[in-house]
Chain A
Amino acid sequence: MSSYGVFLPEAILVATALASAVLGFAWRKRPDLLWAFAVIGTSLAIFITLDMMGLGIGRALNLSVWPSPVGTQGNFAAELKMKVDTFALFFQLMFEFVAFLAILASRGFIRPEEPHQGEYYALMLLAVVGMMFTAAATDLFVLFLAFETSSLSTFALVAFRKRDKQATEAAVKFFIIGAVSSGIILFGISLIYGIAGTTSIGKTTTDLLLLRNGLTLAGHPEIEPPLIIALVLLIAGFGFKVAVVPFHMWAPDVYQGSPTTISVLLTSASKNVGIVALFRVFLIGLLSVQVDWVATLAILAIVTQTVGNVVAIPQRSIKRMLAYSSIAQAGYILIALAVGAIALQSSPPHTDNAAYVAAFGLVGGMLHVFVYGAMKAGSFLVVAGTESRGIPDEIEAYKGLSRRMPFMAFSMLVFLLSLAGIPPLGGFFSKFVLFSSAVNAAVFNPWYLALAVSGVLNSALSLYYYARVIWYMYILEPEVGTAKEAVPRSIEAAVFVALAIVMLTAILAVFFLGYLTDAARSFFGF
């Protein structure tokens, strides 16, 4: 495999995307063929990614994507680089996998006579390619470009049903706030470039450290003010994608307004693009200045969890409730970011406790990203299934769902319990690792305990609104009769895959914990 071979999955996805855009015209009458084509393309990409994960390929590759367009003098050389390491591969698999679920369910969800199906699949696949490049980027500009690729595709996808007023409104909101955020990210990146003189994520951390120490020692004006503004801009810009409070306002409107398969992509994959960007930029690029950002991020994590859960309580729409719950879940994942910052305190042989805790925190974050992707995608897919039978997007309408659609109701039950973190489901396991890493981190700074406590309390709080849905589904009698209703096979299949993952993760996690630990350690360079 040549060095470019590590991009084979992306290449396949791009090819599938372009081809399906074209074939969309040819197969206008046969959307099922188009669907099959997209499913096959995605499966192939997943297969190759899995193969690469198994081989541990790419760990050593540090690939120049194109020759530097900027001058190459001294310290200011710009190397536009990507690195497909085990860490990136894990996230890439996650993105491909969520896209696979969304595409699989599309056949049942998108009506055959709807126009523009070619573009629908093409945009979805291109969004995934953008996400995958984001996971692999090791340069702030590459990261930004990849990030924008995925954003632009998703803006368009939300407006896919252009006659749907709610969807169009959501798309416009998404686009405007997204554009503002892009500006904010770019501003942050340029400030970092101005301070550190490089956009390479690996280099910024050492440069910043040298610069700060040098300047402080020499009695120069400190770099703190511009650095802090840059940090906040980056948090805000990526935080928009993740829907970190207070940059979350768009999320419920957009998740509710988009076609539900697109909501799957947005909540489970697109949100995690922000997470992976935060991991790369903050835990690698800005690790040396972690003292400036850790406390703020920890506070944002707690605020995000609490606001997400509290506002989810009075929601009447299922999709909105799930949207707020996904905001809260993002808050849990931010714990990994705060714990990962402990890596700074680890010294070269990297066998000390600091290295262990940091890696453990990151493992928890990755695990939760994965499980969260499956359970959130699964719960939105259930909504897609019920919507396809004309059940409105209201919690009230789920009365007695266990009688009408037993499998859908059972799956929803499992997803919701897993979101709340009930053992032995996947959500419990990943939260357990995540929170216990925060407890372990308390050895270094007792404040970390607050993160674990907040996580546990918030999980308890969240059960309140999850349990309400379960109560509606299982305890209350249906109003419209108990006749069984069939859900499209493709949606059922997608739900089943997500269900299997959520139920088996806690048992099977042991088999890839080793992989995750390796990935986390290689991510930090331990």
Chain B
Amino acid sequence: MIAFEWVVWLILLFPLAAFVIVGLVGRRLPEGGDHVVVGAMAGSFVLSLYVFIQVLQQGGLGGGFAPQTIQGYVWIPSLLPENSIKISLLIDNLSALMLVLVSFLCLLIFVYSLGYMHEEDGKPRYYAEVSLFATGMLGTVSADNFLQLLIFWEIMGLCSYLLIGFWYSKPEAAAAAKKAFLVTRVGDVLFLVGVLVIWNVFGTLSFGEIQGKMASLYPNTLTPQLLTLIPLLLFGGAVGKSAQFPLHAWLPDAMEGPTTVSALIHAATMVKAGVYLTARAFIFLVPLSSAVQPPFTAILVIAGIGGFTTLFAATMAVVNFDIKRVLAFSTISQLAYMFLGLGAGAYIMATEVSRGEAVNSAGYSAALYHLFNHAFFKALLFLGAGSVIHAVATNDMREMGGLAKPMPVTSRVMLFGALALAGVIPFSGFFSKGEILSVTFEAGSEQPGFYLLYALGVGTAFLTAFYAFRLWFMTFHGEYRGHVHPHESPPVMTVPLMILAGFTLVSGLLAYPMQGFGNLVFFGRPEAGFPLVGIPVQDYLLEGVSMGVAVLGLALAWAVYATKRVPAERFTASARALDWFDRKVIDGIVNGVGRAGVVVATGTDRFDRQVIDGAVNAVSLETVRTSLRLRQRQTGQVQSYAWVVVLGLVVVIALMFGLSFLQRWWAGLGR
């Protein structure tokens, strides 16, 4: 297995090496070193695919693959060897799948960048940063412990900041970058606190070891309160990274970055890290031991935030005219679906565990299935939007229209993306979104609140279809309203688009040969003793409902934007009110908190300046004074130095005698 271990390490090392090379000598390479980056990513993808196939072959279906820790080295040694923190990678079903997904999308988007970024200055910077980002994302999904995950997570945060502000001379871009960095920081702090709490409770940060220690530590060391707190803190990190309410404000602004960055980081990969983290937090949410009472409160919070955000963000998407902002709000909404699915799934699993029944991980796999599908169709939509923007040099959909003729490929692949987003059979979104909704409905029989969340989810499905086709019709249908002469993008951009469009069809059907997606992202460990099943909920009525609302939304969009039979204002008025609510009230609250923070900060600043600094200054003044006095001892005369040596000898001898006397006296006392 030596070869296998090296392969896993190489997946990370390829993009890292590309980052180092392009970062150091990119300016001297032709085209800013883009081929180095693409080549490294291709290598990474091939190796990821190899690992994925190995995992499937060795384990087969049904989670037969025992999670394998690729031992690295001890990073922070500790007195107790088991407490030391190791850098090592974890390969299990979930991480193997994520590695393939991430490296494949990175590869496609890097290829697309060859065309899209062709005329940009600062290409070496761009390519170095995206390579570092790829390293961060691959590291995040293959980390074996929470600390390592946090480190790579922060690397991604840094790259996101740098890339949003890629056009740093534009004030909006710089402000958006700062906003993204600061808002996600709130979540990161919660995540960090969560990691510290985990360390304090478990004495380890490795996923596997935590799961193993769970039953023995409960309920004395790991009190029920702590078990609720830990997943919530981790979820706090996820809320920041995945732009969930109330930390969602940064993602629409992040669209100031290049569209490739929006596609890669702010749609397909980085924002999914929050979902991934929450999926990893399932070891806390669903402790596979009937002795441990699962933290139902934490689960409800996750599902609730997911359910609320999904509708909330969808309404925002309905009223925006900036094509990228529509997609950004749509991303928030779709991510919220995943959290809803995770929450509902966790609720069902937790009740089954506490009853000692067989555990059905359908919700878990449905959410990750949606993650998988969404990565493809949202990357496609963003890249398609990029292609459009490339052609018409504006983001505003009011200045587009009728682009289907000059841009046949783009318009067709975008149609695929919109169908997948809307959830129309047989496109991928239909399967995973339907499954999430079915699981949510099923959870309603355990906890009636889920019926409300299901209603929110169905409403969102309607809005999703509406805004997806609003976007498509406004862009590609009707008369061209812009000024620039549009043209189709070069093949280096359209080929990745076509590949992605193919995947919107394939990725949904992929679950069938796998007998359910759950077999790919198996949760739990066979040795846990619980029979685990991953049977998707199959309720044709529910599926029919979600399909039906999607078609309704599509039809409404057709009526409003294609045939113009219905005036748009009537339907967008209510959404506009919500938009106003978001801008005035939510941003107002955020700003109010910010202002309150400023007031508090002014107070602490004054305290800091006058009390702390005063003390520090007094200390430093005294230190400087002492040091000046000490310097005067340094006369430069060798005689005086010799004297000091002799004096020092006497002092040290006295000291040693004194200490030895003290020790003996102390020992005497002890007796």
Contact = CB atoms under 8 A, between A and B. Distances in A.
Q: Do A and B come from one complex?
A: yes
Given A296-B659, A510-B73, A513-B74, A236 B645 contact: yes
A434 B295 CA distance: 41
Contact of B623 (A233, A433, A461): A461
A291 B627 contact: no
Nearest to A295: B659
Nearest to B623: A310
A236 B663 contact: no
Nearest to B654: A232
Contacts of A12: none
Contact of B79 (A249, A315, A357): A357
Contact of A311 (B630, B644, B645, B653): B630
Interface in B621-664: 623-624, 626-628, 630-631, 633-634, 636, 638, 640-642, 644-645, 647-649, 651-653, 655-657, 659-660, 663
B652 A314 contact: no
Interface in A282-319: 291-293, 295-296, 299-300, 307, 310-315
A249 B652 contact: no
B631 A311 contact: yes
Contact of B631 (A247, A291, A314, A353): A314
Contact of B652 (A235, A252, A313): A235
B75 interface: yes
B216 interface: no
Contact of B641 (A173, A315, A353, A433): A173
A246 B74 contact: no
A476 to B, nearest CB: 20
A250 interface: yes
Given A177-B638, A233-B649, A291-B663, A246 B644 contact: yes
Contact of B74 (A172, A250, A299, A510): A510
B655 A314 contact: no
Contacts of A296: 652, 655-656, 659
Interface string A432-447: 0100000010010000
Given A310-B626, A313-B627, A314-B627, A172 B638 contact: yes
B653 A246 contact: no
Interface stretch (A25-33, A147-155, A223-231, A408-416): A223-231
Interface string A245-274: 111011011000000000000000000000
Contact of A236 (B624, B638, B648): B648
Given A177-B642, A443-B79, A292 B660 contact: yes
Given A443-B79, A510-B75, A513-B74, A232 B626 contact: no
Interface in B185-207: none
Given A291-B663, A292-B656, A461-B623, A240 B631 contact: no
A356 interface: yes
A246 B645 contact: yes
Interface string B598-639: 000000000000000000000010011011101101101010
A224 B641 CA distance: 29
Contact of A184 (B623, B649, B655): B649
A180 interface: yes
B13 to A, nearest CB: 13
B627 A311 contact: yes
Nearest to A363: B77
A250 B634 CA distance: 9
A467 B651 CA distance: 34
Contacts of A228: 653, 656-657, 660
Interface string A60-100: 00000000000000000000000000000000000000000
Nearest to A312: B627
A55 to B, nearest CB: 22
A180 B630 CA distance: 23
A245 B652 CA distance: 10
A238 interface: no
A22 interface: no
Contacts of B656: 228, 231-232, 292-293, 296
Given A291-B663, A310-B623, A311-B631, A240 B645 contact: yes
Nearest to A184: B649
Contacts of A500: none
A310 B641 contact: no
Interface residues of B, number: 35
Contacts of B633: 249
Q: Which of B633, B634, B638 has the most CB of A within 10 A?
A: B638
Given A224-B660, A291-B663, A295-B659, A176 B638 contact: yes
A356 B84 CA distance: 13
Interface string B68-107: 0000011101110000000000000000000000000000
Contacts of A310: 623, 626-627, 630
A269 B43 CA distance: 45
A249 B660 contact: no
A464 B634 CA distance: 22
A344 B299 CA distance: 53
B17 to A, nearest CB: 14
A181 B644 CA distance: 12
A398 interface: no
B393 to A, nearest CB: 39
A522 to B, nearest CB: 18
A513 B75 CA distance: 10
Contacts of A523: none
B642 A360 contact: no
B580 to A, nearest CB: 46
A291 B641 CA distance: 30
Nearest to B620: A464
Interface in A361-408: none
A291 B667 CA distance: 12
Interface in A502-526: 510, 513
Interface in B25-75: 73-75
A513 B86 CA distance: 14
B652 A236 contact: yes
Given A177-B641, A246-B648, A443-B79, A313 B623 contact: yes
A313 B624 contact: yes
Contacts of B655: 296, 299
A247 B645 contact: yes
A232 B645 contact: no
B624 A314 contact: yes
A291 B638 CA distance: 35
Q: Which of B641, B644, B652, B655 has the most CB of A within 10 A?
A: B652
Given A249-B634, A253-B636, A310-B623, A356 B79 contact: yes
A292 B656 CA distance: 7
A57 B34 CA distance: 47
Contacts of B75: 510
Nearest to A432: B76
A369 B315 CA distance: 63
A326 to B, nearest CB: 15
Nearest to B657: A228
Nearest to B639: A176
Nearest to A296: B656
A173 B649 contact: no
Contacts of A440: 78-79
Contacts of A314: 624, 627-628, 631
A442 B82 CA distance: 19
Nearest to B655: A296
Contacts of A240: 645
B653 A229 contact: yes
Given A228-B656, A299-B655, A513-B74, A353 B79 contact: yes
Interface of A: 172-173, 176-177, 180-181, 184, 224-225, 228-229, 231-233, 235-236, 240, 245-247, 249-250, 252-253, 291-293, 295-296, 299-300, 307, 310-315, 353, 356-357, 360, 433, 440, 443, 461, 464, 510, 513
Given A180-B642, A229-B653, A300-B652, 17 more contacts: A173-B641, A177-B638, A177-B645, A184-B649, A236-B652, A246-B647, A249-B641, A252-B634, A293-B656, A296-B652, A296-B655, A310-B630, A312-B627, A313-B623, A314-B624, A440-B78, A510-B74
